[in-house]
């Protein structure tokens, strides 16, 4: 990585603004944190700063408050969880700028931590407003971006503040870039991309960019319906992106020309309705009826995918194979997770819901790398420039 990192700037006894990604999943009813992986992922950077006597000012968003104060999206619970994990008290400001944040930052001592309020309570954050970025930057003496999961956004706390403070990448951001670069620049072969999720449009860039690098592309999830429809299969009531049918056809033709094996489901689980009580039925893709919708890959497909992955030395996975939230439609996804966990290969999980699934199943430690960035990891793998990374200075 050619960007300056936290090791390249002097943070000793300085007040350091750190953009982290504490956008953790919450229980809809209680608001409790259901997975604190994103908090734990940035601990190396936080501890690095504490060990050097820095005053650490943490800045994050949570959810999509759209520039308004939403009580259930305050960072108080996250601040408490971080304090528990670190085993030390910290300060929490109920705004990310303003008198309280300014006072707490000014009083922050060596090795102490301040958590600012949800940065997206201010509409100026997403607008990358220069005045807002300058006010935020005034709290500190230097800036560290450790929020890979948000680095595809040109927001004030990601891009704007770098204009006003000496800036560098945190240890997590560095780790993300190195691991994701590794599978796109110099992967061991055979290399497979296992892709699921709802939309083809979310994965077009990934498929296109890695086409020249992979040996296999395995398609599951809701997006498989669009590919099957493009091959003239009946997909019933399954949601398809009609405007992406030609794109799916082009991708399949491109795979063929590049000698890449693009595998679609051979069988699927279908149902009449999507609910917790719904019953599924396994059918071959030739036998999907007009009143059914696809909700998971079938056992034959899972077996074919598993056998293919077992041949590989590198696997990138993003997107569930079915509706994971409904237990009876989660078998395909669980089989893929178990398969990757058993491989003697480089296995990279592309963040988002896939990372949450792997963590929930207790398999995170059996993967080579689990990214904290959903959309960011997809854009990075797609070959796009991430504004948050681009804004950081190059290493001298």
Per-residue pLDDT tens listing for the chain (396 residues): 799 999 999 999 999 999 999 999 998 888 899 989 999 999 999 999 999 999 999 999 999 999 999 999 999 999 999 999 999 999 999 999 999 999 999 999 999 999 999 999 999 999 999 999 999 999 999 999 999 999 999 999 999 999 999 999 999 999 999 999 988 888 999 999 999 998 888 888 889 888 989 999 999 999 999 999 999 999 999 999 999 999 999 999 999 999 999 999 999 999 999 999 999 999 999 999 999 999 999 999 999 999 999 999 999 999 999 999 999 999 999 999 999 999 999 999 997 889 999 999 999 999 999 999 888 998 898 888 999 999 999 998
pLDDT at 227: 96
Q: In whole angstroms, what is the distance from residue 213 CA to residue 259 CA?
A: 11
Q: How far apart are CA 336 and CA 299, in angstroms?
A: 11
C-alpha 378/C-alpha 351 separation (Å) is 9
Tell the burial category of 286 from Cβ atoms under 10 Å away from its Cβ (0-12, 13-18, 19+): exposed
Distance linking the first and last C-alpha atoms of the chain? 12
| 187-381 shares the fold of 6-173 | yes
| Residue tagged 């990310």 (tokens) | 96
Quick check: 177 and 1 in contact, CB under 8 A? yes
369 near 179, Cβ under 8 Å? yes
Determine the Cα–Cα distance for residues 2 and 217; give it in Å rounded to an integer.
30
Residues in Cβ contact with 25 at an 8 Å cutoff, skipping those fewer than 6 apart: 33, 34, 35, 356
Which phi and psi (to 5°) does residue 210 adopt? -95, 0
Out of 52, 134, 199, 313, the active site residue is 199
Beta bridge partners of 3: 394
CATH class of the 6-173 domain in this structure: alpha beta
Q: Is 375 a catalytic residue?
A: yes
What pLDDT sits at residue 10?
96
Q: Is 319 a catalytic residue?
A: no
Query: Given this model, what pLDDT does residue 200 score?
Result: 87
Q: Are strands 267-271 and 281-284 parallel, antiparallel or unpaired?
A: antiparallel
Q: Residue 61: helix, strand or coil by DSSP? A: coil
Residues 171, 175, 177, 178: what is their CA dihedral angle, to the nearest 10 degrees? Answer: 130
User: How many other C-beta atoms are found inside a 10 Å radius of the C-beta of residue 348?
Assistant: 26
Q: Enumerate long-range contacts of 366-369, CB under 8 Å, 24 or more apart.
A: 366/340, 366/341, 366/342, 367/340, 367/341, 368/179, 369/175, 369/179
Q: Which of 3, 15, 19, 38 is catalytic?
A: 38
Which residue is catalytic, options 160, 236, 352, 373?
352
Active site residue 67: no
Task: Tell me the fold of 187-381.
Answer: Rossmann fold (3.40.50)
* 273 in Cβ contact with 292 (< 8 Å): no
pLDDT of residue 293: 96
Residues 230, 232, 236: CA angle, nearest 5 degrees: 95
The pLDDT of residue 184 is: 87
Q: What was the pLDDT predicted at 206?
A: 87
Sequence-distant (6+) residues with CB within 8 A of 13 are: 52, 53, 54, 110
Q: Could you give the CA distance from residue 117 to residue 130 in angstroms, rounded to a whole number?
A: 19
What's the residue count for the chain? 396
Specify the DSSP class assigned to residue 90: -
63 is catalytic: no
Residues 335, 164: Cα–Cα separation, whole Å: 48
Q: What is the pLDDT of residue 338?
A: 98
pTM over 0.85: yes
Structural domain spans, the chain: 6-173, 187-381
């Amino acid at each position: 990585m050619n960007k300056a990192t936290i090791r390249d700037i002097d943070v000793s006894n300085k007040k350091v603004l750190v953009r982290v990604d504490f956008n953790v999943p919450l229980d809809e009813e209680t608001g409790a944190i259901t997975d604190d992986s994103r908090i734990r992922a940035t601990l190396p950077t936080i501890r690095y700063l504490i060990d050097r006597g820095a005053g650490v000012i943490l800045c994050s968003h949570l959810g999509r408050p759209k520039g308004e104060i939403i009580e259930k999206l305050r960072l108080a619970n996250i601040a408490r969880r971080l304090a528990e994990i670190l085993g030390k008290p910290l300060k929490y400001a109920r705004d990310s700028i303003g008198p309280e944040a300014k006072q707490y930052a000014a009083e922050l001592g060596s090795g102490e931590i301040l958590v600012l309020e949800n940065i997206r309570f201010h509409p100026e954050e997403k607008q990358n407003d220069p005045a807002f970025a300058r006010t935020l930057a005034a709290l500190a003496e230097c800036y560290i971006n450790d929020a890979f999961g948000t680095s595809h956004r040109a927001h004030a706390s990601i891009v704007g503040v770098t204009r006003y403070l000496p800036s560098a990448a945190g240890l997590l951001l560095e780790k993300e870039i190195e691991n994701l670069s590794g599978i796109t620049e110099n992967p061991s072969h055979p290399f497979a991309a296992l892709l699921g999720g709802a939309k083809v449009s979310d994965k077009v860039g990934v498929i296109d960019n890695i086409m020249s690098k992979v040996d296999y592309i395995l398609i599951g999830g809701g997006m498989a319906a669009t590919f099957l429809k493009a091959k003239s299969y009946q997909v019933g009531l399954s949601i398809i992106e009609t405007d992406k049918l030609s794109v799916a056809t082009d991708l399949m033709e491109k795979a063929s020309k590049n000698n890449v094996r693009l595998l679609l489901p051979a069988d699927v689980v279908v149902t009449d309705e999507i609910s917790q009580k719904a019953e599924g039925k396994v059918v071959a893709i030739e036998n999907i009826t007009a009143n059914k919708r696809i909700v998971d890959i079938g056992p034959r497909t899972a077996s074919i995918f598993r056998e293919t992955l077992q041949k590989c030395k590198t696997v990138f996975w993003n997107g569930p194979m079915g509706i994971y939230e409904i237990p009876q439609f989660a078998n395909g996804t669980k089989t893929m997770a178990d398969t990757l966990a058993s491989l003697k290969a480089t296995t990279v999980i592309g963040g988002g819901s896939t990372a949450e699934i792997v963590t929930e199943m207790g398999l995170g430690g059996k993967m080579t790398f689990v990214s904290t960035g959903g959309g960011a990891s997809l854009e990075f793998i797609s070959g796009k420039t991430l504004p948050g990374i681009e804004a950081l200075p190059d290493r001298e």
